């Protein structure tokens, strides 16, 4: 939604310049580009996971307006970020909040744990199937086996 507003602003500037017969104001275009650079690199405290540029919150719109005003006054991007940070001292405007990284570490650990458990279950199943393949038949002992063993033992006794 904010993108549409930006295009309308640039379009209005171009239309006003064309109506006056002059080339577009390079200063206004540069100011708009510098503001967008700050807005796209600053995380919004009003929309989790979004930058000020992408956040549709009215408070984010106020911050974007303030950024443009401060740029027009000649403030540097670092001074502007300092002012914004002073408004929300507990929020990381850079998006490098350790809490976010910690959540990713926990997520990665969970995925690895699930893969490990899955591999262990699969391996156990493979071993169980292999053990079943090597088991003796459950029919019981071969009844003719004892008779043959006795005959062979008698033959050995007779041979000695």
Residue 46, pLDDT score? 92
Does residue 88 contact residue 49 with C-beta atoms inside 8 Å?
no
pLDDT given for residue 60 in this prediction: 93
42 closest CA partner among 78, 1, 3: 78
Task: Find the helix packing angle between 26-40 and 77-87, rounded to 10°.
Answer: 50
pLDDT digits (tens, 9 = 90+) for 81-113: 999 999 999 988 887 544 455 667 788 888 888
Give the Cα separation of 66 and 83 in Å (integer). Answer: 10
Q: Which residues of the chain have pLDDT under 70?
A: 1-25, 96-103, 134-141, 160
Q: Residue 98: what pLDDT? A: 47
The alpha carbon of residue 22 and the mean position of all alpha carbons in its chain are separated, in whole angstroms, by 48
Residue 1 carries which DSSP code? Answer: -
Q: Which residues pair with 51 in a beta bridge?
A: 43
Structure tokens at 19: 């109506």
CA geometry: angle 15, 61, 93, nearest 5 deg: 125
* Predicted pLDDT at 150: 87
pTM over cut 0.85:
no
Residues near 13 by Cβ (< 8 Å), separated by ≥ 6? 24, 25, 28, 29
Give SS3 for 45: coil
Angle CA 39–44–49, to nearest 5: 110
Report d(CA 151, CA 148) in Å as an integer: 5
Place of tokens 């303030």: 66
């Amino acid at each position: 939604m904010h993108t549409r507003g930006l295009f309308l602003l640039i379009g209005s500037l171009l239309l006003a310049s064309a109506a006056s017969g002059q080339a577009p104001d390079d200063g206004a275009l540069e100011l708009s580009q510098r503001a967008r650079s700050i807005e796209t690199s600053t995380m919004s405290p009003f929309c989790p996971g979004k930058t000020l540029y992408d956040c549709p919150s009215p408070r984010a719109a106020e911050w974007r307006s303030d950024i443009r005003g401060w740029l027009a006054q000649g403030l540097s991007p670092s001074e502007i970020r300092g002012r914004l940070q002073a408004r929300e001292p507990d929020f990381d405007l850079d998006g490098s909040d350790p809490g976010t990284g910690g959540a990713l570490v926990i997520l990665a650990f969970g995925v690895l744990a699930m893969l490990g458990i899955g591999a262990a279950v699969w391996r156990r199943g493979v071993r169980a199937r292999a053990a079943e393949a090597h088991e003796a038949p459950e029919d019981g002992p071969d009844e003719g086996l004892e008779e043959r063993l006795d005959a062979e033992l008698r033959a050995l006794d007779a041979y000695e």
